[in-house]
Structure 1
Amino acid sequence: MLIDMRKVEQLIELWFDEDSNYFDLTAKIMIDDDANATFGMNAREPIILSGLPIAKLIFKKLDPDCTFEATHKDGDRVEAGTTFAKISGNAQALLTAERVALNLMQRMCGIAGVTAEYVKEIEGTGAFLVDTRKTTPGLRILEKYAVTCGGGRNHRLGLDNGIMLKDNHIAVAGSITAAVARAKALAPVLTKIEVESDRMEQVKEALEAGADVIMLDNMTNEAMREAVEWVNGRVPLECSGGVRLETIRGKAETGVDFISVGRITQSAPCVDIGLDEV
């Protein structure tokens, strides 16, 4: 997991502040302080797992002595009715943590499942599915991790992970050539520079200027095939813009190296996961 668990623990603090504030009124009234219980996390529909280590941290935040036993791992596909983890410990703590853990896993598993659908559509083409920065504020690293559980790969984790020269950057700089030259002069030496292009003359200028990656933005399949043929493997090409499940195969078959899809994080539905007493 390319995740700093220290940051995740900070997020968990915020999630509990939001959900229970000072205390869980229902659990405090209805359950004795020393009562123990065992609960199972159950898939109520077919899902791809993502977020099990995070769910474990959530439960242990309120009961450090609880046991969290997962029978599966992130990335596994499980069928409806599968109990994929059991948690035993203080009943008050586990029930207070329940909704936070379920909300997080339902979101992450949903992203993993949608990602897997897109990955399956481009099998055998040689193209890789990558995500975007279209993520839920505060949840980016977890949502991007969920993409990897579904078989996708990560694009930039944030603005400091690489230089992407989009149309507005290029307009301010004056040209693609000027923008790339400035980036090369000032960027850390291991930083890649990607240039957004929406027509063939921009692709040519970007390559001649020394771009490391060229994004083909909202270009037709015919235009992308032309770009792939002209670039001829000299730099990787990324397809972006308006990619849907029903169109991604045709885009992959143009020969591009990467296809970035905002929908896998931005529009993924949450899946149905329950916590039931065992």
Structure 2
Amino acid sequence: MTASLPQSLVLIGAGKMGGAMLEGWLRMGIAPAAISLIDPKPSDEIAELAAEKGMRLNPSAREIAPAEVLVLATKPQMLDTAAPAVQAFIHPKTLLISILAGKTLGDLSARLPNATAIIRAMPNLPASVQRGATAAAPGKGVSAAQRATADALLGSIGKVEWLEDEGLIDAVTAVSGSGPAYVFHLVECLAAAGVEAGLPADVAERLARATVEGAGELLFQSPLPPGTLRQNVTSPGGTTAAALAVLMAEDGMKPLMRRAVAAAKRRAGELSG
């Protein structure tokens, strides 16, 4: 189903992730006049953008049309205190999209009973450069049209994966939610290894960073699976093969990453429990 752009969208919480989504919506063609921003302490950049584009900043629910879509992007710990104010913006046909980490569909429904159509989404940091990975789980009251709208809104900041089982969100958090930090640490480790191999620290860091940036872009542009790309840069008996013999050993990267993801998933479950 082709999504239609919402005629009335309320964003509650215009921090880094909320701001990234806002930029994506403006690029995809949502009329600025259709967007209302609710943030008690907006950044100077958000306040200036709202004034420049003609978006409402901190209007009351009475001042705007009933929200077709409400995106909840506050800090998770603010849900309980913010819920009464949020309720006022939710109408029977409002689609609520929440990106609050650790807050389940049940949590949201209990605190925001006006909401009958809820989608829980988990974006990650690269959404700030429109290269995010977002997983979304729809509640039972979400229609096909609302899901298509959510797919378009979330797709404005990167790729979207739909989950029919909300219970998979903790695994998503461990893989893509926390995953960017794993990649950043890889750069740190590669640079440190370069220093030990004899490179000046600044050269090692620039080379490690550029290597990961380039490999990521190649992965983005290529239709080939990552395993094939790896094989394509691995000559038999060459330097890459020697390094991969270490990384792909029984005690190499795969078991290490498995333990790391398991730890992140376990912690995600503890935080949402």
User: Please, what TM-score do these two structures have when normalized by structure 1?
Assistant: 0.26
Q: Work out which structure has the larger RCO, using CA pairs closer than 8 Å and 6 or more positions apart in sequence.
A: 1
Greater strand proportion: 1
TM-score normalised by the chain length of structure 2: 0.26
Which structure has the larger Rg over C-alpha atoms? 1
